[in-house]
Structure 1
Amino acid sequence: MLPPILVIGGAALDITATACRSPNSLLHTSTPGTIRQSSGGVGRNVCEAAMRTGSLCILLTSTGDDLAGASLRQDMIAMGMDTTLVAVLPTQATAVYHAIHDSNGQLLAAVEDMDIFDYIDLDKLDDVLTEYRPSLVCFDGNITASAMETVTSSCQTFGVPVFFEPASVPKSLKLFDGSARALLSGAIRYASPNQYELEAMVNQAKAQLPPPPPPLVSPSLPAHAPGLAHDCLPNALYLSQYIPHIILKLGEHGCVYVGPAKGTEKIAMYFAPEPLNLSTVKNVTGAGDSLAGTIMANLQKDPFTKDIDLWRQIIQNGQRAAIRTLQSDLAVSPLIGIAGTQFEIKIKTPRQAQEWSYSSLGIRSNKKTHINCGSSARMAGNLYANVDQIRRQDRWNNTAINGAYLTNLSRELVRSMAGFPTYGRFFYLARATLNSPTSLCKTLFPAIGE
């Protein structure tokens, strides 16, 4: 099994208000719309995206001892996320991110209460790195500048590459606090800024740090790349002198990758946006986090790769994940785990197939997976959620429930797909069939409601 990814950053309750009116009519009055609550936070989103892509990922964060914190932790457990390193702070409020979107799902304004992230405890980070031996460590801009120094210093000592997700323009500049020791440590190998974060970081670097030697050859982008990509390329090349791999997120204009090639040369690649029907966009809150998490999951096997073709595939997988999140009401789409966001793997044994399919839903498979049908059915019957509960979650409609019956399907798998806790048990998925007889359904699934 590959070593895990460790994500250090924010977990927050996301509140998204989407107005039904045009932006010009929103100020100084109330307006009709829809309000949704979901689990979010940059670090948590990145961790979930990596998990749904098939990676083992561990989140280190802090939550409050309040209703919002309890909801966040319960949701993490439900999707199989390891909460061992999620601290509960009784004197702090759980982080909340409140976004206001226009009728097209575009962000108009947002207010965040993230003070709790100043209290993320990294005193035992070396012990964590020793115990988990992660292949990659990611931190987001929500943690303090001193915490960033701690992370980069420890990761440099342990030889673990670091991925930086800036989170916002002000937070991206924390790398430059304290004489920019976090940035200059050399531990940060990857960063995924947007155009505004990139510009702010480069301006700060030019103002605060001595200029690095320019690359011997400056790569260019293809002519068909949009003007914005060409305009941002010099900044991406400049920042890559400090952080070797830059994944520049340009939203509807696509993505630019700048990274090392042979020797001291640099390479720049442009990636056009994935096809998207704008009418299907529901929100943009977690799209960038989904891209970053999917890229990290694809890097897990070889985080130091310089293979250009591999990087091309990695970033395209990240773009597909971002598209699926754009079309979801959640901060990270549950559909990220389906084909197209992870590398094709040739499965040689049924056990490998089980491990891959279960891991995308956070259900770990081990030697106890193979349980006979009768035992599996009896154990599953005690844990299932009825049809009404699933329908209220808006995860499955009647057609899906009645038409997609799975014989000997583990309850944990069904519960995970429906958004309910899995309780961390292990089952074996033997075979599937459609429209099974009602009597058989009642025998194997007695807890299903009428």
Structure 2
Amino acid sequence: MTPSPYIVGVGAANADIHGRSRAAVNLRDSNPGTMRVSVGGVTRNILENAARLGLDARLVSAVGGDVFGRLILARSAAAGMDVSNVLVLPDAASSTYMTVLEPSGEMFVAVSDMSILAQLPEAYLAERVPLLHGAAAIACDPSLPEETILHLLALAGKTPVFVDPVSTAYARKLLPHVGRFHTVKPNRMELSILAEMDAGEDAALKPAIARLLEKGCRRVYVTLGPEGCCYGDDSGLFLRAKLRPIVRMENATGAGDAFTAATIYGHVHALPPEETLNLALAAGSVAIRSAETVSPEMSIPLLRETILRDSL
């Protein structure tokens, strides 16, 4: 009997503190609003979305022995993730991400402390080579130290490694090694850095994607905000897709993680690129409509309903 496929995520698991101002944010002043504490982290969020889509998702990360660490482990397990490979460092502070949101739900500013990831020993990853080699896909967190990313790429063997740069700073860190990733998911600014060319105009998207494919990537998804996304792969296929724009956003911070999870879902189930692209757009749409970073309603049936409702 063939074992069920599973995915592995290596990277951040955070406590997320969200403050949403009731009015336009005033700098250097106290802004009345609402506060909420949840769990997050790029890798952890991708895996929770994937678990809610029905995948067996296994997290490799580090947390502290503090209240945030206990919260991260408890809520991640409750969401259906395997947390048995999370290293607990009793004297360390867990990763924390604090964001201030505009009344619209758009991010105004954020501060993160992910220094605990530097304490994830290379030997800890090396001991998990069988786990990595048996996975259908690996999600790599760009916030990992560069040496850890290189170590993970070396240990992954033939397992496809996915990465979302999440920022221009991390895109610059990934640039020398981007061709070693199976799938990358930049936005337009991150694409410009990774492709080493200006991708600001729509006409430049296809050549920029082609450059990443020339570097060694197999698949490239580029998110374009309200304009949807585009896709290219090493077969020469190039696609562009878009769903009906969302009128009101609740929280835009989790859309990219949901999108990435859906691309991994499509890979694991060998779905056609067009179907994967639409599922990914729908996942981002579901995430934006939720006050939580990961929508508790995330599911494949909901994504298919969203595609039917919002297709143009």
Q: Quick check: 1:2–1:301 contact (8 Å CA) kept in 2?
A: no
- Give the number of the structure whose residues are more often strand, by fraction: 2
Aligned to 2:205: 232
Aligned to 1:337: 299
Question: What pairs up with 1:175-254 in 2 under 5 angstroms?
Answer: 175-176=174-175, 180=176, 182-184=177-179, 186=180, 188-203=181-196, 228-242=201-215, 243-254=217-228
Question: What pairs up with 1:46-445 in 2 under 5 angstroms?
Answer: 46-131=46-131, 133-156=134-157, 159-176=158-175, 180=176, 182-184=177-179, 186=180, 188-203=181-196, 228-242=201-215, 243-261=217-235, 266-272=236-242, 274-279=243-248, 281-302=249-270, 310-341=272-303
Q: What residue ranges of structure 2 are gaps of 5+ in the alignment?
A: 306-312
Please report how far the alpha carbon of residue 142 of structure 1 lies from its aligned counterpart in structure 2 after TM superposition.
1.1
Q: Quick check: 2:48–2:80 contact (8 Å CA) kept in 1?
A: no
Q: Deviations over 1:227-281 (max 9, x none)?
A: 85334333222122221211001111110101122xxxx2211111x224422x1
Aligned to 1:428: none
Please report how far the alpha carbon of residue 190 of structure 1 lies from its aligned counterpart in structure 2 after TM superposition.
0.2
Please report how far the alpha carbon of residue 84 of structure 1 lies from its aligned counterpart in structure 2 after TM superposition.
0.8
Percent identity for Structure 1 against Structure 2: 25
Please report how far the alpha carbon of residue 152 of structure 1 lies from its aligned counterpart in structure 2 after TM superposition.
1.0
Q: Deviations over 1:413-445 (max 9, x none)?
A: xxxxxxxxxxxxxxxxxxxxxxxxxxxxxxxxx
Does the residue aligned with 1:335 lie in a helix, a strand or coil?
Answer: coil
Does the residue aligned with 1:46 lie in a helix, a strand or coil?
Answer: helix
Q: Deviations over 1:314-370 (max 9, x none)?
A: 111011111111011111112211415379xxxxxxxxxxxxxxxxxxxxxxxxxxx
Choose 247-256 or 233-242, whichever is displaced more.
Answer: 233-242
Please report how far the alpha carbon of residue 131 of structure 1 lies from its aligned counterpart in structure 2 after TM superposition.
4.2
Q: Deviations over 1:82-101 (max 9, x none)?
A: 11111111232111111111
Q: Counterpart amino acid of 1:165?
A: D
Q: Could you tell me how far apart the structure 2 residues matched to 1:233 and 1:16 are?
A: 36
Aligned to 1:434: none
Q: Deviations over 1:111-142 (max 9, x none)?
A: 11111111223324344231461011110101
Does the residue aligned with 2:182 lie in a helix, a strand or coil?
Answer: strand
Aligned to 2:8: 6
Q: Counterpart amino acid of 1:241?
A: E
Q: Counterpart amino acid of 2:12?
A: G
Q: Could you tell me how far apart the structure 1 residues matched to 2:239 and 2:98 are?
A: 35
Q: Quick check: 2:13–2:42 contact (8 Å CA) kept in 1?
A: yes
Does the residue aligned with 1:316 lie in a helix, a strand or coil?
Answer: helix
Q: Counterpart amino acid of 1:35?
A: M
Q: Quick check: 2:51–2:79 contact (8 Å CA) kept in 1?
A: no
Q: Counterpart amino acid of 1:202?
A: A
Q: Deviations over 1:373-420 (max 9, x none)?
A: xxxxxxxxxxxxxxxxxxxxxxxxxxxxxxxxxxxxxxxxxxxxxxxx
Does the residue aligned with 2:144 lie in a helix, a strand or coil?
Answer: coil
Q: Counterpart amino acid of 1:328?
A: S
Q: Could you tell me how far apart the structure 2 residues matched to 1:163 and 1:342 are?
A: 23
Q: Could you tell me how far apart the structure 1 residues matched to 2:11 and 2:30 are?
A: 33
Q: Could you tell me how far apart the structure 2 residues matched to 1:323 and 1:34 are?
A: 23
Q: Counterpart amino acid of 1:275?
A: R
Q: Which has the larger radius of gyration?
A: 1
Q: Could you tell me how far apart the structure 2 residues matched to 1:110 and 1:56 are?
A: 31
Does the residue aligned with 1:21 lie in a helix, a strand or coil?
Answer: coil
Please report how far the alpha carbon of residue 288 of structure 1 lies from its aligned counterpart in structure 2 after TM superposition.
0.4
Does the residue aligned with 1:278 lie in a helix, a strand or coil?
Answer: coil
Choose 167-176 or 107-116, whichever is displaced more.
Answer: 167-176
Q: Quick check: 2:286–2:303 contact (8 Å CA) kept in 1?
A: no
Q: Could you tell me how far apart the structure 2 residues matched to 1:122 and 1:300 are?
A: 27
Q: Quick check: 1:15–1:99 contact (8 Å CA) kept in 2?
A: yes
Q: Quick check: 2:226–2:245 contact (8 Å CA) kept in 1?
A: no
Report the count of equivalent residues.
Answer: 299
Q: Could you tell me how far apart the structure 2 residues matched to 1:126 and 1:30 are?
A: 47
Q: Quick check: 2:153–2:161 contact (8 Å CA) kept in 1?
A: yes
* Coordinate RMSD, CA, aligned: 2.0
Aligned to 2:309: none
Does the residue aligned with 1:336 lie in a helix, a strand or coil?
Answer: coil
Q: Quick check: 1:120–1:143 contact (8 Å CA) kept in 2?
A: no
Aligned to 1:363: none
Please report how far the alpha carbon of residue 52 of structure 1 lies from its aligned counterpart in structure 2 after TM superposition.
0.8
